[in-house]
Structure 1
Amino acid sequence: MKNQGVEMPVLVVGSGKVAQGVVNCLSSAGHPIDYYNIDNGKDMLPDHIPEKLVVMVTSEDKIEKISWIVLLQQRMDSDATIAVNMESILLDELQEKAQQPEQIIGLNWVYPADQTFFLEIISNAVCNERNIALLQHLGKNCWGKDPYTVCSGFSARARMFAAMVREAFYLVEKEYASIESVDRACRNDAGYYLPFAGNFRYMDLMGTYAYGAVMKDLNPELCNEKTPAIFFKELLKNGGLGIENNTGFYNYTESGVQEWNGLFNQFSEDIRKIMLKYPFGKEQEI
């Protein structure tokens, strides 16, 4: 597997800051990179794609993803791999109309992709085992990630995050807590321990019985709404993109946007250094 490392040319197909972060990550690892910005349309894509690995970072639109997969497969070699970002879409839905469904595998990143340890590999029974092993190897040994693989065909991270956000929406919509209070609760509790332990390790450290007692009474009261909060729908309807257009849950000035971007990048660098001191596999040494 060593020979399939950073010398492998990679085509990145996508747009936006996550895609650019992926390009930065792979370039820093030493891969020869060809970046195709999908905002330019499909006409500029080369007739033949020689790369054996294509990383897609596109919007969460199933029809758009499938159309790109179909086009890529028409121009790629049969032994190439397409690694697709997918949050709410099932992997088998993307494989359904593919010429070679075994070529397609899920690969999720987070911003900034060139700083974080996060890499989620999503597979199912159709996936080629070679592709799974390749991404695990590249993520751990070449890209500076702490990758994990789920075989369910959907994103585990997306579901956990959505559950937390759904409860946050519920608390704000019912006026049980303000947006600022929810953010402080997340930052000062879960945000404090998650980079070190994760939920299960933290419950072990604190005492699992206490959490079992709390959840027994609390779980029936948690939100189970099927749609996002009304105030969030209104925000989206009014074109709110958060920091991208100064319209989000908070108000931003132009100088404030620049400052927040700078702070977030600096925080990502700082938290990476801290997490390196406490790697996830530490328990194997204890």
Structure 2
Amino acid sequence: MQKILHACIIGAGLMGHGIAQVFAQAGHKVTIFDPDAATLDVAPQRVAHNLEQMGLTSGPVLANIFLATDLQIAVADADIVVEAVSERLELKQQLFADVARFAPRHTVLASNTSVIPITAIGELLDADARGRLVGTHWWNPPHLVPLVEVVRTEYTSEKVFDSTFELLLSLGKSPVKVHRDVAGFIGNRLQHAMWREAISLVSKGVCDAETIDTVVKQSFGMRLPFLGPMENADLVGLQLTKLVHQVIFPDLCNDLEPNPLLNALLEQGHEGMRTGQGLRAWTQEQADEVRTQLALRLITSVQKPAI
């Protein structure tokens, strides 16, 4: 029989409520902490909406979720704490220093940062707490995307690294082990390498932003769920792969700073879907449709057909 754990999720926003949902769906007790009462109060509604989209009853899941505005109380008997706050190093460092003071000595300290090295996040921790600090990078939306990157530092204990991996497996996720603590880990390094080239192509006038999305979605993007890049390289052969690289690598974007196009757009107040304009123009209806269709397609891809 599965041991029921107490998971504390710090941050009730975009990622936090979805991570909490995964633990609660697996039958674990979950406390969500957020200092902002308004954000915290709507977290159960967001979880209920997710479950409704998935065709699941929300009652049993919501019964496992509790809300807290006091950090010390929230982590007092937690077996694992998952931090899902904004990407600010100083905030995360201080947060984990506080959690380490308040939580039991066995508590796994997990950060959901997307790109910040875990080692840097743990700089204020003592040796014992550093040994319990591990990265768990979930992907948005976390209740639907299977992957979680489990990141170890040179200080992370083998026991914490392995037990966190096994816990995520038990939650129905598809965890991978990241053995070196590099910025962006694996997925975001791959994703943003493509984004860097895509934005460069637009900034150089090769094509517009909509064309980039069309090319990705109507070509190699269709293969990616079934054929990863390493598989594809072996499929076409490493000799061809090498020849292609010899031609294209010298011409690829290798900027070490964000593309000036981003600054130009931001200076005009164009931040993306939220403001109605980013690299592409968006109505509220179009933005909502993208979010809805993404969720529905992910639900279809991860749900097992009934036997």
Band of TM-score, shorter chain: 0.7 to 0.9
Quick one: which amino acid aligns to residue 200 of structure 2? Y
1:259 matched to 2:285: no
Aligned residue runs from structure 1 range 152-231, under 5 A? 152-154=180-182, 155-231=185-261
1:82: which partner in 2? Answer: 109
Q: Cα distance, 1:101 vs. partner? A: 1.1
What per-residue deviation string (whole Å, max 9, x for no partner) do you get for residues 121-180 of structure 1?
A: 00022101121112211222x222111011111312121112111111111111112111
Q: Deviations over 1:216-264 (max 9, x none)?
A: 1211111111111122123334454433343322222233333222111
Q: In the TM superposition, what is the alpha-carbon distance from 1:17 to its structure 2 partner?
A: 1.8
Q: CA deviation at 1:106?
A: 0.5
Residue 84 of structure 1 aligns with an amino acid whose one-letter code is: S
**Cα distance between partner residues in 1 of 2:172 and 2:105:** 28
How far does the alpha carbon of each residue in 1:168-224 deviate from its partner, in whole angstroms, 9 at most, with x for none?
Answer: 111111111211121122212231111112110122223332221100121111111
> Any unmatched runs of 5+ in structure 1?
278-286
- Aligned partners of 2:119 and 2:19: how far apart in 1? 24
Q: Tell me the residue number matched to 1:64.
A: 91
CA contact (8 A) 2:150 2:176 kept: yes
Inter-partner Cα distance in structure 1 for 2:72 and 2:155 = 28
* Alignment coverage as a number of residue pairs: 271
Q: Distance in 1 between matches of 2:246 and 2:106?
A: 50
Task: Quote how far apart the aligned CAs of 1:38 are.
Answer: 4.3
2:176 corresponds to 1:148: yes
Letter in 2 for 1:34: T
2:124 is matched with: 97
CA displacement at 1:66 relative to structure 2: 0.5
- Counterpart CA distance in 2 for 1:152 and 1:23 is 27
For 1:131 and 1:170, locate their aligned partners in 2 and report how far apart those are by CA, in whole Å: 41
Alpha-carbon separation, structure 2, partners of 1:51 and 1:85: 17
Aligned to 1:250: 280
Instruction: Using structure 1 for the length normalisation, give the TM-score.
Output: 0.87
* Structure 2 CA distance for aligned equivalents of residues 110 and 201 of structure 1: 22
5+ residue gaps, structure 2, are 41-67
1:167 alignment partner AA: E
Shift of the 91–166 alpha-carbon distance from structure 1 to 2, 3 Å rule, reads same
Deviation at 1:110, TM superposition (A): 0.9
Amino acid at match of 1:115: L
Q: Which moved more, 1:102-111 or 1:203-212?
A: 203-212
Tell me the percent identity.
Answer: 22
Residues 245-254 or 76-85, more deviating:
245-254
SS in 1 for 2:233: helix
Q: 1:249 to 1:39 in 2, by over 3 A?
A: farther
Tell me the residue number matched to 1:280: none
1:51 matched to 2:78? The reply is yes
**2:50 paired residue number:** none
Counterparts of 2:177 and 2:267, CA distance in 1: 35
Q: Which deviates further from its counterpart, 190-199 or 243-252?
A: 243-252
Could you tell me which amino acid in structure 2 is paired with residue 26 of structure 1? F
Choose the corresponding residue for 1:118, options 147, 153, 156: 147
Q: Distance in 1 between matches of 2:253 and 2:35?
A: 37
Q: Sort the Cα spacing of 1:102 and 1:11 in 2 relative to 1 into closer, same or farther, 3 A.
A: same
Offset at residue 102 of structure 1 (A): 1.0
Match of 1:16 among 6, 10, 13: 13
TM-score, length of structure 2 as denominator length: 0.81
Aligned residues: CA RMSD: 2.2
Compare 214-223 and 30-39 and name the one that shifted more.
Answer: 30-39
Q: Any conservation in 1 of the 2:109–2:134 contact (CA below 8 Å)?
A: yes
Alignment partner of 2:72: what SS?
coil
Which secondary structure state, in structure 1, belongs to the residue aligned with residue 10 of structure 2? Answer: strand
Structure 1 distance, partners of 2:35, 2:179, is 29
